[in-house]
């Protein structure tokens, strides 16, 4: 993979996606090659145009001869099986490019595993020499928001109609945005929504990064230059303010804690402990008493 083989890269990514246990051995020798790539997360409601936007942005990065990795996290809903195919079609113009590596991650339905797999795979793409690694996730569930947290810069893609529910949206998407994109600006209400967003963002304290709101028509490549300028400005801010180093350290800390927790949990539930648990329930003991007993004979 380090000699530039796409086949090897694809194989490594599959291995990590399908056999999380192998990530340790695979990632260890790559550790000192990780950290060069800019990681950008695109998130937002279903159908907002994230994939179209990512494709347009990747084409733009390609004009600067960047090597790009894209990790598209499939919509969580088991009912939207068509979306993946749609993504394939929409991203087909970039996926035949030698210096672009597009990969879809299936939602496993498990806890958090997806975010961890995405982070590991981003590390591999980074080590493989990608200048930019892009995550695309649907911003609805917890695990999608977690994936977004693995990015240096989070782009929240909205549509003019999102303005109607800006209050309800505040809780999740509003907080994580570094850059807002109001895509489908060929539809009515985009400018009004953009100024509403800007007004809401300007309430932030001075000295902080104020997320800009960029209007785009991704299907027509419109607004892409302005978008790129916003991302570049944010990247400069991240570096100048020292926030990049802090964010990355926080991210690594969280990942390490997660790994420790997974490992401890996996080791904890022995047959004997499961028996203690079941016996306690049959004896109608309080959950506190049962958990106390379980933790007493630990280690
Ligand atoms: N009118 C208009 N349509 C757009 C624009 N950008 C994307 N679309 C269309 O919107 C639809 C959804 O686009 P996608 O890029 O698949 O959206 P997405 O957010 O990736 O969707 P999911 O991954 O399924 O959540 C497609 O039919 C696009 O052609 C735009 O700027 N204007
Ligand atoms: Mg998509």
**pLDDT at site 111:** 44
Residue 274 and residue 94: Cα distance in Å, rounded? 50
Neighbours of 265 (CB within 10 A): 9
- Report pLDDT for 200: 81
Determine the distance separating the centroid of ligand 2 and the alpha carbon of 188, expressed in angstroms.
Answer: 22
Does the reported pTM lie above 0.85?
yes
Q: What is the CA radius of gyration of the chain?
A: 21
- What was the pLDDT predicted at 201? 81
Question: Rounded to whole angstroms, what are the CA distances from 80 to 24, 30, 70, 243?
Answer: 33, 36, 20, 37
What's the 91 CA to ligand 2 centre distance in angstroms?
Answer: 9
- For the beta carbon of residue 298, count every other beta carbon within 10 angstroms: 9
What is residue 68's predicted lDDT score, i.e. its pLDDT?
95
The domains of the chain are located at 6-241, 269-296
Instruction: For the chain, 299 residues long, give each residue's pLDDT as a single digit of tens.
Output: 999 899 999 999 988 888 877 888 999 999 999 999 999 999 888 889 998 999 999 999 999 999 999 988 764 444 333 344 445 545 556 667 889 998 887 655 444 577 788 899 999 999 999 999 999 887 666 666 777 778 999 999 999 988 776 665 655 677 788 999 999 999 999 999 999 888 888 776 666 899 999 999 999 999 999 999 999 999 999 999 999 999 999 999 988 998 898 888 888 989 999 999 999 999 999 999 999 999 986 65
Q: What is the predicted pLDDT for the residue at 79? A: 38
Pairing of strands 153-158, 179-182: parallel
Q: How far is the CA of 275 from the centre of ligand 1 (A)?
A: 51
**Which protein residue's CA is at the shortest distance from atom 28 of ligand 1?**
49
Q: Yes or no: say if 148 and 176 are a contact pair by the CB < 8 Å rule.
A: yes
Q: Counting Cβ atoms within 10 Å, is residue 256 exposed (0-12), middle (13-18) or buried (19+)?
A: exposed
Residue 45 CA to ligand 2 center (angstroms) comes to 10
43 phi and psi angles, rounded to 5 deg: -140, 170
Cα-to-centroid distance, 48 and ligand 2 (Å) = 8
Instruction: Specify the ligand 1 atom closest to the Cα of 185.
Output: 31
* DSSP per-residue letters across 25-67: HHHGGGGGG-S-SEEEEEE-STTSSHHHHHHHHHHHHHHTT--
Q: What is the reported pLDDT for 139? A: 67
Atom of ligand 1 nearest to the CA of 53: 15
Nearest CA to ligand 1 atom 8: 49
What are the CB-based long-range contacts (under 8 Å, 24+) for 63-66? 65/99, 66/99, 66/131, 66/132
pLDDT value of position 67: 96
Residue nearest to atom 9 of ligand 1 (CA): 49
Atom of ligand 1 nearest to the CA of 217: 31
Identify the pLDDT of residue 38. Answer: 97
Q: What is the pLDDT of residue 110?
A: 47
Tell me which residues have their CB closer than 6 angstroms to ligand 1. 46-52, 75, 83, 86, 90, 138, 183-184, 186, 217-219
Give me ligand 2 centre to Cα 83, in Å: 7
Count the Cβ atoms, other than its own, within 10 Å of residue 201: 17
User: Taking the domain 6-241, which CATH number applies?
Assistant: 3.40.50.300
């Amino acid at each position: 993979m380090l000699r530039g083989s796409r086949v090897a890269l694809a194989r490594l990514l599959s291995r990590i996606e399908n056999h999380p246990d192998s990530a340790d051995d695979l990632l260890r020798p790559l550790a000192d090659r990780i950290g060069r790539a800019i990681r950008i997360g695109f998130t937002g409601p279903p159908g907002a145009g994230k994939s179209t936007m990512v494709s347009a942005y990747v084409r733009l990065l390609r004009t600067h001869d960047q090597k790009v990795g894209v990790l598209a996290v499939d919509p969580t809903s088991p009912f939207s099986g068509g979306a993946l195919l749609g993504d394939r079609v929409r991203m087909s113009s970039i996926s035949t490019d030698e210096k672009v590596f597009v990969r879809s991650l299936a939602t496993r339905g498990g806890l958090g595993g997806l975010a961890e797999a995405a982070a590991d795979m981003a590390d591999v793409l980074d080590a493989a020499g990608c200048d930019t690694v892009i995550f695309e996730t649907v911003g609805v569930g917890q695990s999608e928001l977690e994936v977004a947290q693995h990015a240096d810069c989070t782009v929240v893609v909205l549509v003019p109609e999102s303005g109607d529910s800006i209050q309800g949206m505040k809780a999740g998407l509003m907080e994580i945005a570094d850059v807002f994109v109001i895509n489908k600006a060929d539809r009515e209400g985009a400018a009004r929504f953009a100024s509403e967003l800007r007004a809401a963002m300007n309430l932030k304290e001075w000295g902080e990064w104020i997320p800009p709101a960029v209007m785009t028509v991704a299907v027509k490549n419109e607004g892409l230059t302005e978008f790129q300028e916003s991302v570049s400005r944010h990247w400069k801010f991240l570096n100048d303010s020292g926030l990049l180093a802090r964010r990355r350290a926080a991210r690594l800390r969280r990942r390490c804690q997660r790994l420790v927790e997974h490992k401890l949990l996996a080791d904890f539930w022995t047959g004997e402990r499961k028996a203690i648990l079941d016996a306690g329930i049959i004896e109608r003991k309080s959950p506190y008493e049962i958990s106390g007993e379980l933790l007493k004979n630990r280690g």
